[in-house]
Structure 1
Amino acid sequence: MKVRFYDIGSVEDAKLFYAVTAARYRGGWIWVRHKERVTWEMPGGRREPGEAILETARRELYEETGAVRYRQVPVCLYSVTPEGGAESFGGLFYAEVDELGDLPDSEIGEVAFFDGEPEALTYPQIQPFLLEKIRQAARPEPGESR
């Protein structure tokens, strides 16, 4: 598995299929657990047709965490290439969450907060690289409020 990072705007928008947000709340990193798994992942998911990648990031952050007040900023684009597979692209975002509401009815079974990354990751060959990229960006100043 190979993870690569790209500057915003350097990959054709139509190629972006995923949005992932590394989010903090009250000093902890937000991780979510799918109802059908015992592992943890960052909030994120697939882009819907006609949706801007920032809207994907906002929608997924809300659907998977219940975040209702937050500041979110794009950090970079990334790609994942499985051994012998095709490269797929996504957007990586950072958010500071001020308020969490009720968790919407979705595939997420649990939201938890960690100082770093949990031991049991859903995507262990990808998520540590995404979190490290956020850390290298020195937690960029979140922009637009929601």
Structure 2
Amino acid sequence: MTWNTMKLPVSVKGIVFEEGEVWLRRNERQEWELPGGKLDPGEQPVETVERELKEEMGMVVRPIAPVHAYRHTIPGSADEENGVLVISYLCEMLDSTGDFETEGESGAASFRRFALDALDDGVSMPRFYVEAIRLAESAAR
């Protein structure tokens, strides 16, 4: 028997709601996305989302549950020609320093909260992130 052994990088994202809004990160492609990043060797996805949100946004979070998984293809990406598996976790913010990483591993970034109803009104972001946020919103109720 032959198995298909496609190898994909794994990126873990955090969905953090604050005052009825969701935190997003503007990336080097000028798209909004959920904050987070790739697994480090030996790391579990929960550890990744905790580490990444602390590094990027100065937030201490408690991952509650994974709410969405999606294989995302980024055209022209050197290390993700088959895509990247993006796992999104609903997270509870426990603490925040307010320190944001504006120059990260993948380039310049900015962070902002968005009202949930604004996500369908021209926010430049891959559609699967909106789906993940909607699922997290339902799970958080």
TM-score by length of 1: 0.66
Change (3 A) 1:50 1:114: same
Query: Which of 25, 46, 58 matches 1:54?
Result: 46
Query: Which of 116, 121, 142 matches 2:124?
Result: 121
Change (3 A) 1:49 1:76: same
CA drift of 1:81 comes to: 5.7
SS at match of 1:48: coil
Alignment-derived partner of residue 17 in structure 1: 10
Q: Distance in 1 between matches of 2:58 and 2:67?
A: 24
Q: Distance in 1 between matches of 2:39 and 2:51?
A: 9
Structure with more helix by fraction: 2
Matched, 1:72 2:66: no
Matched, 1:135 2:130: no
Query: Which of 30, 33, 39 matches 2:26?
Result: 33
Runs of 5+ consecutive residues of structure 1 not aligned to the other structure? 1-13, 141-146
Report sequence identity in percent: 22
Quote the RMSD (CA, aligned, Å): 2.8
CA drift of 1:73 comes to: 1.2
Q: Distance in 2 between matches of 1:104 and 1:86?
A: 28
SS at match of 2:33: coil
TM-score by length of 2: 0.68
- Checking the alignment, whether the CA contact within 8 Å between 2:9 and 2:83 is kept in structure 1 is no
Change (3 A) 1:66 1:119: farther
- Checking the alignment, whether the CA contact within 8 Å between 1:17 and 1:89 is kept in structure 2 is yes
The structure that has the greater radius of gyration is 2
- Checking the alignment, whether the CA contact within 8 Å between 1:15 and 1:88 is kept in structure 2 is yes
Q: Distance in 1 between matches of 2:29 and 2:44?
A: 28
Matched, 1:103 2:100: yes
Q: Distance in 1 between matches of 2:112 and 2:26?
A: 8
Runs of 5+ consecutive residues of structure 2 not aligned to the other structure? 1-6, 74-80
Q: Distance in 2 between matches of 1:67 and 1:21?
A: 11
